[in-house]
Amino acid sequence: MTEWGLAALVVWPLLWGALTLVMPVRWAALPGVLGGVFFGTWVLTWAPQSVALGGWLPPLGLSWRLDGVSQFMIALVAWVGGLSSLYAWWDRSLPSAFWGLWLGVWAAMNALLLTADVFHFYVTLELLSVAAVALVALTPGPAATRAAFRYLLVSLTGSMLFLLGVALLYGRYGVLDMLLLRDAMQGDGITALALAVMTLGLMAKAAVFPLHGWLPQAHAKAQTVVSAVLSALVIKAGLYGLLRLWLDLFAPLTSQPDSQAGWVLALLGTVAIFWGGYQAFRTPALKPLVAWSTVAQVGVLVLALALMVEATTRDSDGLTETLWRGWVWLVAAHALAKAGWFLAAGTVQKRAGETRLAGLGVALQRSPLSVFAMALAVVSLAGLPLSMGFLGKWWLLSLAWELQAWLWLAVSLLGSLLTLAYGWRVLNLGLSTGHGAEPLTPQAPLQTVPTRLDAVALILSALSVLGALGGYWYWEAGA
């Protein structure tokens, strides 16, 4: 039965997405989204398993592997994607082409999270890129087109680097299945080179510093709901790939006690935290601020990966349940908070007909739900106590503590402070009564934007805080 479910995770959104070309779009989108949420939730009840597609066992055939990481990530896509779809459903300014492309993104994400074959991973990456780039280009105007093109170019280059790594792995080991590769893995030069080029390719897709240049434009110029799903979910595809490479596929290489490669990741993550935070602090407009915050948060997730790699070099258990559960938790907290923040920010900008922070004051004060949503998102992203992000941060800090990596411990704390700082720029405007630090410029009349859009943003942000309530169950299940 679960094989039906696994197939549905990919086939369902893909077929309904394709049907948007021949049916009234919303008639195809509704079952596509509902089914996606349903199957993506159901997946949590299935036992971890491998499925050889078509009955052909690797190395000949492709296989799917459902494990804890992919299970929770698929569910995350379903929930954040489902709520974002609700926003899109009510957002009248969204072109109808959104739905087919978005269902394509969804199917590609699920396929990517399931596959255990490095070449198939490449194909899913490309499907994801094509659909995601087109989503960015839904915004009319040269700025969005340029951002979309840049995104496409970086994405294509990343894919090519990844494929180069796949070719090297095939040349060295003659197999493409991740588990078989891991078992055959040797610590030689060509394997290290394959790891390097594949990492580089995925870093470009995940916008890891210094390959982040395309992100602020692409995420800021996109339609609101597109920004939300790109920042919350699509970025995570690259990060998930990095997790698979460093802690699974290449684990025999990366977990050698003298391996120092993890520190390169840690360093890049650190620079991303500070650079992204700094840019978010000084950018003049709201959505770019949120986009730069994504650059910083990607840094946090990469830093976490680096600490996990370091942990596996010190004890031989490999990718333990505590490790991956912590990382997935952090990813989930970020995805929920970032989706909520972007949706709230976009709603406020729509209301104001304006993007600069300085001109948003009145719109912010007339959008209490959105301001509340942004406040909760900042709370969770900064990891303030009692939020879902707090548990993630706590896990990260205790990991650094165990490793006695004081420097990285300090970095993650400073990252939280930076998040509060740039978050406060927005909240200050929304909470002040008109004579705040930044003067309110004269306003054009506000656009009417339905309050239910603010409400969807608030639900996502609230989940990024209240998710902490699920912490006991999540962590205990892992222990």
Site residues for another protein per CB under 8 A: 3-4, 6-7, 11, 14-15, 17-22, 51-56, 59-62, 95, 97, 100-101, 104, 107, 111, 119-120, 123-124, 126-127, 129-131, 133-134, 137-138, 141-142, 145-146, 148-149, 152-153, 156-157, 160, 163-164, 167-168, 170-176, 188-190, 193
Query: By 3-state DSSP, what share of the chain in percent is helix, strand and coil, each rounded to 5?
Result: 75, 5, 20
Report, in Å, the least distance between residue 181 CB and another protein.
12
Is the CB of 140 or the CB of 442 nearer to another protein? Answer: 140
Report, in Å, the least distance between residue 18 CB and another protein.
4
**CA–CA separation, 27 vs 446, rounded Å?**
32
Report, in Å, the least distance between residue 446 CB and another protein.
27
393, 401 contact by CB (below 8 A) = no
Report, in Å, the least distance between residue 443 CB and another protein.
25
Report, in Å, the least distance between residue 148 CB and another protein.
6
Is the CB of 193 or the CB of 440 nearer to another protein? Answer: 193
Is the CB of 56 or the CB of 472 nearer to another protein? Answer: 56
478, 321 contact by CB (below 8 A) = yes
CA angle, corner 16, sides to 12 and 17, nearest 5? 110
Would you call 120 exposed, middle or buried from its count of C-beta atoms within 10 A (0-12, 13-18, 19+)? buried
Q: Which residues contact 122 (CB under 8 A, 6 or more apart)?
A: 159, 162, 163, 166
Report, in Å, the least distance between residue 160 CB and another protein.
5
Is the CB of 194 or the CB of 345 nearer to another protein? Answer: 194
Is the CB of 131 or the CB of 247 nearer to another protein? Answer: 131
CA angle, corner 76, sides to 293 and 382, nearest 5? 30
First to last CA, the chain: 28
- Residue whose C-alpha is closest to residue 218's, from 298, 148, 135, 283: 148
**CA–CA separation, 29 vs 18, rounded Å?**
10
**CA–CA separation, 112 vs 194, rounded Å?**
19
Is the CB of 180 or the CB of 440 nearer to another protein? Answer: 180
Report, in Å, the least distance between residue 441 CB and another protein.
24
Report, in Å, the least distance between residue 452 CB and another protein.
26
Is the CB of 63 or the CB of 297 nearer to another protein? Answer: 63
* 115 strand-pairing partners: 64
Is the CB of 51 or the CB of 267 nearer to another protein? Answer: 51
**CA–CA separation, 111 vs 24, rounded Å?**
26
- Residue whose C-alpha is closest to residue 401's, from 311, 286, 294, 284: 311
Is the CB of 41 or the CB of 145 nearer to another protein? Answer: 145
Tokens of 68: 């804890």
Report, in Å, the least distance between residue 294 CB and another protein.
22
